[in-house]
Structure 1
Amino acid sequence: MCGIAGIAAGHNDTQHVLSKMLDRLQHRGPDDAGIWSGDHLSLGHRRLSIVDLSPAGHQPMLSASGDRVLVYNGEIYNFEDLRQELEHSSQTRSWRGHSDTEVLLTCIETWGVQRTLERCNGMFAFALWNKADKTLVLARDRMGEKPLYFGWVSGRFAFASELKALREVTGWSPQMNLAAISSFLSAGYVRGPHSAIEGIYRLPAGSMLTLSATDLSRPMSWEELSSRLAQYWSLEQVALVGLSSDQSSDPAELLNSLDRLLHDSIARRMVADVPVGAFLSGGIDSSLVTAIMQAQSNRPIRTFSIGFHDSSHNEAHHAKAVAKHLGTDHTELYLEADDALALVPSLAETFDEPFADSSQLPTLLVSKLARQSVTVALSGDGGDELFAGYGRYLAILQLWKHLHRLPTHARHAARHFLFAAAGASSIFSGSLPPRLRRLGERIQFDDIDDLRVAFIAGAGFTRIQDFASVEHAAHARLPSAIQSPLRRLLYGDQHDYLADDILHKVDRASMAYSLESRIPLLDHRIVELSWRFGEGALLAGGLGKQPLRKLLDRHVPFSLIDRPKQGFSPPIAQWLRGPLRDWAETLLSEQSLRELPLINAAEVRKLWAAHIKQKIDAGLVLWNILMLCHWRSHMQIGRGP
């Protein structure tokens, strides 16, 4: 895993700027760096050596013909298969090394970009310059595991693995993208292809963007860019094909297919020329990944977990029990409030955009812990979104069963009645019981897609966001052909929550410590298979993730994992009343809040006061506002148009 960057050539400072951009990405690639320059474009690379540690894996890499130049971040897990296929072709080949970068570049030169992307199994983001026809191709993996930002800064085209690198381009004067900020306020993460910075975009997952030399020379709107965007893999098509298949297939056959794919996916992700381990929370997903890893290893694998002294947030003892049963070499670290406090000042720099998933803190610390022993760590991310593991799915389905029968005006009237009955400021005074308060906020939504985002965000947002700015909100357009409420929840989470929250968090947190994180459950073959399971095979007896539970039962006693899902979030609400209080008070001052768009400063101050007095638990909502304030201050960014 590495860091890539590029900038349109033709300026006297191009190499200097690109060098500074690469310096901002050093944490992604501390082992090597390189720059290539041509007539129209300069490409840069920071390398974290994982496969082929020799200079033969150096980037930017030129193709054998010399016509193409590649900078690439990620891993192609089936590169050995692709290499063998190339070797068995009629052409005689001479390899410089055994890196997946060289295989990827040779495949592109042999088959073309699109066919190569369709054949690759991996996580990646890359930029390919074709010197012959003067075109640049940017591409990203199917699920969006690896990031790629691009846009025009002061009229100059530039791209990078992280937004922070673009700050080094001469003339950088960022303005907030109000649609993205509104998206963040409604969900806690920025959704879609528009970044939080006006005019800077995020390449969509499963897509490739082709730009000519002329395109690079002038700023383009997203609408114009869309005409140059091609989808080589579509989650929508995968979902529709899976749903149209015979979902009455033998459940045992589907389960065995999943088992075979998981074993293959994990085995491929254990290939490296550096030490490999696993994150182990003690939950179903990470325990299953760890169990299969250990079954395929001839020595104890290294496992790592983070714990909290607050028992309501702690799963470390469960992870320790699973590790003992499987026989792994286990390391755990208990997180103190002071550990979180030490991380807080760097969160805006680490996560690039406003980002408020509080599990970012333990994810950072478990990455730091793992990096002391390994360079690659496998994780169990993706299981909840693919196999209906979140408890909120059942809660939403129960609520929607009644809500969707009510006319819109009846829902709004019910919400008004709930709050009016308890007083105008009831949401902050705490006089309304928590369950009714949450119901009052969620009852207003007209469709299940918005209700999904409301559950992710938590209660309180409708009183914080300025109603006059609702027009700026950005909503994912989900396929109308997916009618089932559960399927829409799963699709929505795979479409934006997984890519824009979970994978954003894992990539930034692991790369902050030069650790490569690999996610076996997001092998595209497993994603495609997950859509073939019937709803009854996913949810049964009030519990989701039935396929993964059944597979884990083959490795770990049921008693070790038979417990409610806890998640991976620290006790933020308590910390904001304690060790983080002074930091939060500074950011939530009236002056600071008034510098933010879309925010009702007076309502936020009321919420903060009520939280401090323990009249309401508003930790989740306040964390979102704090992350936005912190990011704006760090970026020194304007309010936007």
Structure 2
Amino acid sequence: MCGFAGLFYPAVAKPVDPARVRAMGEAMAHRGPDGAGTWTAPGVGLAHRRLSIIDLAGSPQPMVDADERHAIVFNGEIYNFRDLRRELESRGRVFRSDGDTEVLLQGYAEWGPSLLDRLNGMFAFAIHDARTQTLFLARDRMGVKPLHYVELSDGALAFASELKGLVAHPLLRRAPDVRAVEDFLAFGYVPDDACLVAGVKKLPAGHFLLLERGKPVPAPQRWWQLSFADRARGSVAALEEELLHRLREGVTSRMVADVPLGAFLSGGVDSSAVVALMAEASRHAVKTCTIGFDEAGHDERAHAAGVAARFATDHRERVVRSDDFALIPTLVHAFDEPFADASALATWQVCALAREQVTVALSGDGADEALAGYRRHRFQAAEERVRGLIPAGVRSPLFGALGAAWPKADWAPRPLRAKATLMNLARDGAEGYARSVGVTTPELRAALLTDAARGALQGHRAEDRYVAAMRDAPARDALDRAQYADMAIWLPGDILTKTDRTSMAVSLEAREPLLDHRLVELAARLPSSMRLRGGEGKWLMKKAMQRYLPRDILYRPKMGFVTPVSAWFRGPLAEQATALARSRTLARTGWFDLERLGRLAEAHRAGREEHGRTLWQFVMLERSLVRLFG
């Protein structure tokens, strides 16, 4: 796992200052503490920071091939690199190292962009071809590894693994983009098709960008797309075995490393399944770690300990305070852009614990998105059944009126908190789902923004990307469309960004076996009833894992990392919430009605209303604005 940065001049091969490229790489030294390298040629420069995982001494980067035609910088792991190497050797290719970086280099020389279809891995990389005067940038199917780029005033295209690599370039014009602020307030993260720094872009997952000298910068090209349009044929038993086979492949392929390897273990279904399959494939005790909380209702250590005992893992645990908000500056630095998924605090802590003993850790991320594991998937499927029974002309006014009349009872038991469901039933399925994944509603966002901000948005609305993704999804039913949108937007923007930044902040490589593309493609082809049945998400996966895991692990309610931000803003962070109304940083943008924000903070503090997540968003936004724009 690594970080890289670079410059390429598409119009004219201007000279590149090695010190400037090196500084871009050094800004991401945490991604690669084991080595650094810089390479320049007319019109191009590459910088790399290395975290050694495979071929510890033999694959320095930037790497240049024997005839000095191709040069590469690479972040990630190619899990089938040995198979690809054998195929390339059969074609006469000669290798000078033992790692996956040279396989990418030689594979691109042999196959060009079609190399991507052959890769099983997580990756972002850049390859320069001196003969054709081109630069090829590519990103993996799911978006596990990040890649940012921007066109600079001197004609260069700058690119980097993290935004801080671009910020290190003195010609980057830093101005905030109000559309990204709208997106962040809607979802709690800045999606991959937006950036808080105006002009900066993120290469989308499953896309590549081919730059040619003498031509303008083109739009990225899609090289992979997940499809829910087809259905797998076979009995439940046959598809269960196929799914289990893909689960094993995903896990075992990610256990190859020349450094200590372990796993995160929360005691939930996904991490427990990963550990079970690791234990099956390993001759040695799997190293596992978990963090517990000082609040019993959020502490999963007992479940994790049970799984660890079942598979005789080398298990470590640590109790952390549920109110450890002292990590906020660490997270602001790690993420660059504002990120308000509060579980990032716990994710950083479990990464730090793992890094004390291992350099690679397998994660359980991805199964909820691929196999319909979220509560919102169940709600969406149920709501669509209701929509299908009642004509829109009757349904919209009926449920709209009921939703408007129903009290907003955040304090009440869940069955009595029906306002959002009733309002969603009045909308079409895509609009309803777009709102269900959000944090701050369109109505509250509009109330907190000034006329100037609303004008600058020019009609841009965060939820529209979800509506468009679901409308255009290669899918058969409502559940397909919701999952497709989650895989395209939520997964790379929130889940994978969180795991990448928190793990890389402590120089740990996190691998995602449940996002092996062969497994994900199978999951998308499963009948909806095998993903979600009887209100049980991940139904077929849980059935397949019954031979490994007890029912109290497979079927207990999903807990996850919970951070009590609402309680913080009524307690130790109450003054910070109140201070938002006096923020010079927020005021300087001219985008926010700070008086109204102050009233919102006071209503929350007094317990009259619930706005904890929105206040957390504004705290993280203010700090990110200070970091990026001063």
Q: Could you say which residue in structure 2 is the equivalent of 1:70? A: 72
The superposition leaves residues 591-622 of structure 1 with CA deviations (integer Å, 9 ceiling, x where unpaired) of 55434565443443232112211223322222
Q: Could you say which residue in structure 2 is the equivalent of 1:530? A: 523
Residue 222 of structure 2 corresponds to residue 231 of structure 1: yes
Q: Could you say which residue in structure 1 is the equivalent of 2:177? A: 177
How far residue 480 of structure 1 moved from its aligned partner, in angstroms, is 5.2
Check the 8 A contact 1:465/1:600 in 2, yes or no: no
Q: Are the structure 2 counterparts of residues 494 and 463 from structure 1 closer, same or farther at C-alpha, using a change threshold of 3 Å?
A: same
Q: If the length of structure 1 is used for normalisation, what is the TM-score?
A: 0.89
2:47 aligns to what SS in structure 1? strand
Report the Cα distance in structure 1 between the residues aligned to 2:585 and 2:401, rounded to whole angstroms.
31
Residue 365 of structure 2 corresponds to residue 370 of structure 1: no
Check the 8 A contact 1:376/1:518 in 2, yes or no: yes
The superposition leaves residues 144-193 of structure 1 with CA deviations (integer Å, 9 ceiling, x where unpaired) of 00000001233432000000111111133312222222122211122242
Report the Cα distance in structure 2 between the residues aligned to 1:556 and 1:82, rounded to whole angstroms.
35
Residue 578 of structure 2 aligns with an amino acid whose one-letter code is E
Q: Are the structure 2 counterparts of residues 71 and 186 from structure 1 closer, same or farther at C-alpha, using a change threshold of 3 Å?
A: same
1:34 aligns to what SS in structure 2? strand
Residue 27 of structure 2 corresponds to residue 24 of structure 1: yes
Residue 307 of structure 1 aligns with an amino acid whose one-letter code is G
How far residue 409 of structure 1 moved from its aligned partner, in angstroms, is 9.9
Q: Are the structure 2 counterparts of residues 480 and 162 from structure 1 closer, same or farther at C-alpha, using a change threshold of 3 Å?
A: closer
Check the 8 A contact 2:78/2:119 in 1, yes or no: yes
Q: Could you say which residue in structure 2 is the equivalent of 1:383? A: 367
Report the Cα distance in structure 1 between the residues aligned to 2:87 and 2:485, rounded to whole angstroms.
37
Q: 1:449 aligns with which of 430, 434, 437?
A: 430
Q: Could you say which residue in structure 2 is the equivalent of 1:38? A: 41
Percent identical residues: 38
Residue 90 of structure 2 corresponds to residue 88 of structure 1: yes
Check the 8 A contact 2:175/2:629 in 1, yes or no: no
Check the 8 A contact 1:429/1:610 in 2, yes or no: no
Q: If the length of structure 2 is used for normalisation, what is the TM-score?
A: 0.91
2:569 aligns to what SS in structure 1? helix
Report the Cα distance in structure 2 between the residues aligned to 1:589 and 1:615, rounded to whole angstroms.
22
The superposition leaves residues 205-251 of structure 1 with CA deviations (integer Å, 9 ceiling, x where unpaired) of 11110112335xx7x5xxxx32xx2222112xx322xx2x4x45212
Check the 8 A contact 2:580/2:594 in 1, yes or no: no
The superposition leaves residues 314-359 of structure 1 with CA deviations (integer Å, 9 ceiling, x where unpaired) of 2222111111111111111222145x32210222221121211111
Q: Which runs of 5+ in 2 are unaligned?
A: none
Check the 8 A contact 2:125/2:139 in 1, yes or no: yes
Q: Could you say which residue in structure 1 is the equivalent of 2:140? A: 141
Q: Could you say which residue in structure 1 is the equivalent of 2:615? A: 622
Check the 8 A contact 1:449/1:492 in 2, yes or no: no
Check the 8 A contact 2:35/2:50 in 1, yes or no: yes
Residue 119 of structure 1 aligns with an amino acid whose one-letter code is R
Check the 8 A contact 2:190/2:493 in 1, yes or no: yes
Check the 8 A contact 1:40/1:213 in 2, yes or no: no
Which 10-residue stretch deviates more, 610-619 or 354-363?
610-619
Report the Cα distance in structure 2 between the residues aligned to 1:581 and 1:13, rounded to whole angstroms.
50
Q: 1:607 aligns with which of 600, 604, 607?
A: 600
Q: Are the structure 2 counterparts of residues 351 and 297 from structure 1 closer, same or farther at C-alpha, using a change threshold of 3 Å?
A: same
The superposition leaves residues 379-428 of structure 1 with CA deviations (integer Å, 9 ceiling, x where unpaired) of 01000011111112112333344457464897478657755786xxx799
2:228 aligns to what SS in structure 1? helix
Check the 8 A contact 2:158/2:166 in 1, yes or no: yes
RMSD over aligned CA atoms reads: 2.6
Report the Cα distance in structure 2 between the residues aligned to 1:604 and 1:421, rounded to whole angstroms.
25
1:569 aligns to what SS in structure 2? coil
Q: 2:263 aligns with which of 278, 285, 291?
A: 278
Q: Could you say which residue in structure 2 is the equivalent of 1:435? A: 417
Matches within 5 A, 1:395-474: 395-402=379-386, 405=390, 407=392, 411=396, 415=400, 435-439=417-421, 442=424, 446-458=427-439, 460=441, 462-466=443-447, 469=454, 471-474=459-462
How many aligned positions are there?
612
Q: 1:539 aligns with which of 532, 539, 544?
A: 532
Report the Cα distance in structure 2 between the residues aligned to 1:385 and 1:278, rounded to whole angstroms.
20
Check the 8 A contact 1:288/1:548 in 2, yes or no: no
Check the 8 A contact 1:288/1:551 in 2, yes or no: no
Q: Are the structure 2 counterparts of residues 396 and 119 from structure 1 closer, same or farther at C-alpha, using a change threshold of 3 Å?
A: same
Report the Cα distance in structure 1 between the residues aligned to 2:140 and 2:281, rounded to whole angstroms.
26
Report the Cα distance in structure 1 between the residues aligned to 2:376 and 2:194, rounded to whole angstroms.
27
Which 10-residue stretch deviates more, 10-19 or 604-613?
10-19
Matches within 5 A, 1:249-398: 249-337=234-322, 340-398=324-382
Residue 298 of structure 2 aligns with an amino acid whose one-letter code is H
Report the Cα distance in structure 2 between the residues aligned to 1:70 and 1:383, rounded to whole angstroms.
32
